Amino acid sequence: MAESSDRSNLHGSILGTRVVRSEDPKLLTAGGHYTADLPQHIVKKALHAIFVPSPVAHGTLLEVHTEDASDVDGVVTIITGTSLRDELGVGAHHGFVPIGPRFARHPIAVDAVRYVGEPIALVIAENRAAAVDARRPEPEQLPDALHRPGLQPDAVHRRDRL
């Protein structure tokens, strides 16, 4: 099958568009700089951020429990999707390419999770170990479209959760 070189019908689309990554050669040949390479006198003053990923593909966030995680020695704060929205005014966004109003998503999940790994909280801690220890996701699991129960006609998949 021949590939069409005319992509004029994809105006504004990122589909089929080659992305030139100018940073790759430097990073792949040990010429890049990473945060792990920072000098110790800087790292000692830095805070560490770890996202808490959803362990389920489809679920409801009844409440993100932060009390136990806040008690972990070294944890500075925990940011949830609700606190990000209500206290800091960061709402849903479209990312790089707006598709439609239904596709706007919060940077950290609010009310529901839509895929495994979707961030449900952000832990800020004095060291990486404390941030990792504080990660305890607890969404209520719902049937997902990856397994037989989620494929049944009566499975609940609200349109905004796809």
Domain residue spans of the chain:
46-145
Per-residue pLDDT reduced to its tens digit, 97-119: 777 777 888 999 998 888 899 99
Per-residue pLDDT reduced to its tens digit, 3-52: 555 544 556 667 777 777 888 888 888 888 887 788 888 878 889 899 98
- pTM equals 0.65
Written in H, E and C, the secondary structure of 89-120 is CCCCECCCCCCCHHHCECCCCCCEECCCCCEE
Per-residue pLDDT reduced to its tens digit, 45-77: 889 899 989 888 888 887 777 877 788 888 999
What residues contact residue 152 under an 8 Å CB cut-off, 6+ apart?
A: 143
* CATH code for the domain defined by 46-145: 3.90.1170.50
Q: 122 and 50 in contact (C-beta within 8 Å)?
A: yes
